[in-house]
Amino acid sequence: MPANLPPQYYELERQFRAEKDTAEKLRMAQELFAMMPKHKGTDKLQAEMKAKISQLKKELAGGAKKGGGPARVEQADHVEREGAGQVVLIGPPNTGKSSIIGAVTHARPLVADFPYTTREVTPGMMPYETIRIQLIDTPPISPEQFETYLLGIIRNADLVCLVAGVDEDDCVDKIQYVIDKLKERRVVLTNQPHDPEAMENVGLAFKRTMLVAHKIFEDGWEARFERLKSRYPDYPIVGTSILDDDSMAAFRKAIFDGLHIIRVFTKQIGHEADFNDPIILKPGSTVEQAALHLHKDFAYKLQFAKIWGAGKFPGQRVQKTFVLSDGDIVEFHI
């Protein structure tokens, strides 16, 4: 099977071979790996690039120690998933990402009134009704600072929250810098993750994004909020303040809506429904897919199911192909 590598890959590979700086070479190697189509035709190429990345990380860590200075802490380019979805908060310095994380999760990232306080990723779990959603705090993105390991974290997330501080007059310019910087690295923030252009630009990651206008109620925030809405009409936008419970409740709901998921609860025959651990599925999922989530043999043996939910009569008998809705209760019969 041919590799079908995009033209941008070969240009970046040429730069990679010529590059002498280890840190920059590592960044390029990670970018090359991200650009590779993932199929059998690139299996060998993927393995070789993974080995190069591993070797470059060792060289970078070893070089820092030999220099006599503090060893560079190499951040992982992924965070292990937990909960119903993974959401990464990104943005310019001092926009309040860490304070949002602290307000809605049990995580305790360092919060201060000066920029660049956050130096590493910090995950936390946000409760929302019957589920928990993983939020990830990240270092800021600006002309002075950009951690390349963030590219992997952003690519792997289910949803990106782009946080703007509406207490600053230049909030739109700072947000535009983040958008442009990531696009330069082939990560496109969009509300249309299935953009047809993605099919023509192998290596681009289209990430569903919502805009968070934080620090509302600060002087002049309304005009800045409107400028953000006008500049980025395609992004859903929610205004937040950690001092306002209603805005934080709206933030939680916007996160859930942005993940595009449904919750399906299960029920054993003759028992009450279990509302503690719902099955998380994509909209349009069927009864059979819900059963498959539990176990493939269970789905294979499934004869029919009974459904309770909005728009259905209690205990309605349905077939495997029945499309589920958020909040449905399913009783499987095998």
Least confident range of 79-93, 202-216, 275-289: 202-216
Residue 69 has pLDDT above 50, yes or no: no
Residue 294 has pLDDT above 80, yes or no: yes
Side chain identity at residue 231, one-letter code: R
Quickly state the pLDDT bin for 230 (edges 50, 70, 90).
very high
Per-residue confidence (pLDDT) for residue 161, from 0 to 100: 98
Residue 78's alpha-carbon distances to 81, 91, 97, 125, 201, in angstroms, are: 9, 18, 19, 16, 23
State how far Cα 313 lies from the chain centre.
37
> What are the two backbone dihedrals, phi and then psi, of residue 59, each rounded to the nearest 5 degrees?
-65, -40
Residue 68 has pLDDT above 60, yes or no: no
Residue 26 has pLDDT above 80, yes or no: yes
Calculate Rg over the CA atoms of the chain: 23
Side chain identity at residue 154, one-letter code: I
Element (H, E) at 331: strand 329-333
- Mean pLDDT of all residues in 209-214: 97
Cβ contacts of residue 137 below 8 Å, gap of 6+? 89, 97, 98, 101, 107, 109, 118, 121, 122, 123, 124
209/258 Cα distance (integer angstroms): 8
Helix, strand or coil, per DSSP, at residue 293: helix
DSSP state of 231: H
Neighbours of 151 (CB within 10 A): 20
Nearest to 255 by CA among 279, 270, 238: 238
Helix, strand or coil, per DSSP, at residue 67: coil
Contact present, 53 and 25 (Cβ < 8 Å): no
pLDDT by residue (tens digit) across 251-267? 999 999 999 999 999 99
Neighbours of 245 (CB within 10 A): 10
pTM here?
0.75
Q: What is the DSSP string of 121-181?
A: -EEEEEEETTEEEEEEE----BTTB--TTHHHHHHH-SEEEEEEETTSTTHHHHHHHHHHH
Domains of the chain, with CATH numbers? Answer: 7-66 (no CATH), 86-259 (3.40.50.300), 262-333 (3.10.20.30)
